[in-house]
Structure 1
Amino acid sequence: MKTSLLNLALVWYSLSVHTAFAHTEKFPTALTIREHSDRFEEKEESHNTHEAHDPEDLEVFNPTDEWQTLKPNQAVPPGSHVRLNMQTGLREAKRGEEEGLKYWTDGQRHEINKQSTFRAQQLKEALKKYKGDNPSKKEAGQADTSTSSQFRSVDELKRDMEALEFLMETDAEIMHKLLSKFNSTSNTVDQRVTALLDLEYLVHQVDNAKNLVSMGGLKLVTDALNNTDVRIQESAAFVLGSAVSSNPTVQIEALEGGALQKLLTLLATPHPVSVKKKALFALACLLRHFPFAQSHFVELGGMQVLGDLFKEQGVDCLRVRIITMLYDMIIEKELVFKTDIEAVPNSTQQQYAKYSLHPMLVEQGWCNLVPELLNSTDHDQREKAVRTLLAMRPHCQTQYQQNPSLTNSLISLQKEYQTLALTEETQGEKDGYFNEILSLLDSLVVKIH
């Protein structure tokens, strides 16, 4: 009995000494932040007595493979699974497969997920270390520096190009050289034609077309329509059409420069089909959305010129362009008067009201000319012919009804396109191209009769 008491006393004494030693052992040096200062100081904290409890310290939940109830404000190690028990309304957690929380101190990683508590000071220090020593940011900064060093400024590139006798030219400078090349009588026709074609590529851009006017190039191109060489005439008409396309400023300059009269002259006099093809292109671009020019076109006998050209032999490709231009002019004017007055200025409507195409369509025989294209085997020509016939119908109704060949052609085409449309539908195209043409034909037949 005495021996047992003696052993028990020795064990109790050993535990007491070990506990006292544990409480007197110093912790390693830690970083602390002085309030209202950005400087960090090293301070050795003495823990000769028990630490005062910090309310921000978090007790760490020790997860297992089973779901356990979490206490209020209890910290959960990263990677743990957390759920809300719908029956009790309490949060529960269990062990996950992910790693525990890790942080950086002194350039090394230390695990702290095995601690029983997370001290607030430890968390703050870990956050400072993370913000102050982020390797990804350093790598990003180095990458930016290395990337910027790979490129040079525009001034440096210009100096290098000048040293290599390689000059950077603007579009305006290039256009000026092309105009000089075209206007030079010492150059061959091929060289002048090449200059015009290069110029046509540039004047598609709105600002370049305006620069063409300011350089005096538009006048040179317009005057070239009267050149004796058909290749220069063709190329000049090509440049003119591209320059005035969707460019009201250049359209006005071209009209005032006499381009309309010169284009009509090309179309009314003997010239190759290639020249007249480009002249029609330029004329259509000049008249589009330009009622003042359309009015002058009618006054100058433009409808008569187009009618005579349409009747010529061997000009099927020109016929399609002619009726397309007529269709655009008719529909354009109708849309202007159907649109809300607030969307279209009154002055624009007044300009469109100064001329009328419909009486001329009847007088000059267009009601019987357009149906001739229905005899073509080309689907595109047929489509454009039917659309134009529909646009002219309010003023050509009588002529349509008195034209038996038109009725026969429409009935024959209906049967043909019914078969083609059915074939499209069997192939899964319910709204195909042939079905669209068939709808136009059906509409025209119904309106005529």
Structure 2
Amino acid sequence: MDDTRLCSAVIMKLIFCYSGRASLCCLFLVLLQLHCSLSQKSEGALTVVENTEGGRGVDEEEEVTVDDDDDDDDGGGDFEVVQPNEQWQTLKPGQAVPAGSHVRLNLQTGEREVRLGEEQLKYWTQQHREEEKSRSSIDPDELKRAMKKIKEDQSSQDSAPSRFRPLDELKKDMADLDLLVETDVQIMRRLLDQFNSSSSTLEQRLSILQELEYMVHQVDNAQTLCAMGGLSFILQGLNSSAVRFQENSALVLGSAVASNPVVQVQAVEAGALQTLLTTLATTQPLNVKKKVLYALACLLRHFPYAQRHFLSHGGLQILSELFRADAGGILRTRIVTMLYDMISEKELISQAGLDPVQDQAHAERLRQYSQVSLQEELMEEGWCSLVPQLLQSTEHDYREKALRALLAMTPVCLDQYRSDGVLLGSLLALRLQYSELIQSEMILGEETSYFTEMVELIDSLQVKVK
């Protein structure tokens, strides 16, 4: 308001105080309001906020807010700007505050005080809380304790070797606690003793065989088992009248000799080859023959000495009888796969022999494989006409094994292939079938690589037969 209206308002309040016989306090407040208004007029930054609660009482502190005006009209000199916070702080003469600050007049002290405005205080409080939270998340004492622990751990690691104890001492302590840590050798020795015990039942012995089959997959364990005389009771199990006992014994033998030349030699010397062939030649359930064929294949693989004895003991004759008697094709596939592996490994050894740089061991392998006349005996035993029969199967896997074996046997069976009308007709029918399967799979967006490979095998065989 201008000076005239201000003076009128003050005079009216004086009259009211006088007519109402108000106290000196009332007169003082009116004069104080006049002083504040004049101060506001001169400084242009403060506005009086009157008490809105009514009545004649006056608050001890009247609050004043800072208007968001432009700079002073008089462009007065530089002011010391006070940066307010959430607490009230006293304003000294000549000090200025930022726009939006909250200013009040303390009636008890007569001094002006300032703090952040409501809007500013809201954001300041949120920021203050986040800063306090981040500061409180890192406790200096906690950090000191963590650093101390790191140093202690480092020093303990430096002295770690001194904490290791000898194995014998640990065993003694665990023995005192009725604990026993057994090595694989000790376990196998215990299992053999239990197996040979007269009090062991058939179920217990079967369980022992299953544990041994798991253990002898490791090369060292298989050799240790042989050194303990384990081969003898395994071969005895093959001659047992209990079917399950024969099956599990064959599995243990096959797992022990697989990719283990030391055990292969010991098994042949112990008569394992003759036992396996005898078991195949006698009437046995299908499951027993499957397991025995597995053990025989493991024994012959990459072992030309055993292959030569296999041929000399009529092994191909026994397998041909099994092949003819197997109508389902399960044994046929296993037999053909075993023959294919034997042919392929000899061929690979012969090709490697073309290398001008050869070691003495390779030369010895070449000599041993040269004594194995496998393909010639395959032709003599009629396998050139037996293997094509597997193509009549509806199983893709059986057909694949037959095609691969036929390709491997081509050097000795080519003339018979060319004169075998059933074989040639089967190749034409199979190629047409797999070509149609490839087209169907391509339409459906499926993978065709397997059927494509089958067509390639057929094409390769047809090319050689022509």
TM-score, structure 2 normalization: 0.63
Residue pairs, 1:326-365, within 5 angstroms: 326-339=339-352, 340=355, 342=358, 345-365=362-382
Indicate conservation of the 8 Å contact 1:420/1:434, yes or no. Answer: yes
1:166 and 2:176 are equivalent in the alignment: no
- The aligned counterpart of 2:404 is 387
Please give the alpha-carbon distance, in whole angstroms, between the structure 1 residues aligned to 2:202 and 2:337.
33
- The aligned counterpart of 1:187 is 200
Summarize deviations over 1:4-55 as a string: whole Å, max 9, x none. xxxxxxxxxxxxxxxxxxxxxxxxxxxxxxxxxxxxxxxxxxxxxxxxxxxx
Summarize deviations over 1:352-400 as a string: whole Å, max 9, x none. 1112112221221111111111111111111001000100111111111
Q: Displacement, 1:160?
A: 6.0
- In structure 2, the CA distance between the partners of 1:265 and 1:152, relative to structure 1 (3 Å rule), is same
Q: Displacement, 1:447?
A: 1.3
Of 175, 187, 198, 2:211 maps to 198
Indicate conservation of the 8 Å contact 1:336/1:349, yes or no. Answer: yes
Indicate conservation of the 8 Å contact 2:237/2:245, yes or no. Answer: yes
- In structure 2, the CA distance between the partners of 1:216 and 1:409, relative to structure 1 (3 Å rule), is same
Q: Displacement, 1:301?
A: 0.6
- In structure 2, the CA distance between the partners of 1:346 and 1:431, relative to structure 1 (3 Å rule), is farther
- The aligned counterpart of 1:140 is 150
Q: Which amino acid aligns with 2:253?
A: L
Q: Displacement, 1:321?
A: 0.7
Gaps of 5+ in 2: 1-139
Indicate conservation of the 8 Å contact 2:301/2:342, yes or no. Answer: yes
Q: Displacement, 1:327?
A: 0.2
SS of the counterpart of 1:389? helix
Q: How high is the sequence identity, in percent, across the aligned residues?
A: 51
Number of residue pairs the alignment of both structures matches:
316
Please give the alpha-carbon distance, in whole angstroms, between the structure 2 residues aligned to 1:421 and 1:184.
60
Moved more, 290-299 or 214-223: 214-223
Of 414, 418, 422, 1:397 maps to 414
Please give the alpha-carbon distance, in whole angstroms, between the structure 2 residues aligned to 1:430 and 1:235.
39
Q: Which amino acid aligns with 1:444?
A: L
Please give the alpha-carbon distance, in whole angstroms, between the structure 1 residues aligned to 2:147 and 2:259.
52
Q: Displacement, 1:437?
A: 1.2
1:366 and 2:383 are equivalent in the alignment: yes
- The aligned counterpart of 2:244 is 231
- In structure 2, the CA distance between the partners of 1:290 and 1:144, relative to structure 1 (3 Å rule), is same
- The aligned counterpart of 1:437 is 454
Indicate conservation of the 8 Å contact 1:424/1:432, yes or no. Answer: no
Gaps of 5+ in 1: 1-107, 109-133
Please give the alpha-carbon distance, in whole angstroms, between the structure 2 residues aligned to 1:441 and 1:204.
37
Q: Which amino acid aligns with 2:417?
A: Y
TM-score, structure 1 normalization: 0.65
SS of the counterpart of 2:296? helix
Indicate conservation of the 8 Å contact 1:244/1:285, yes or no. Answer: yes
Indicate conservation of the 8 Å contact 1:280/1:321, yes or no. Answer: yes
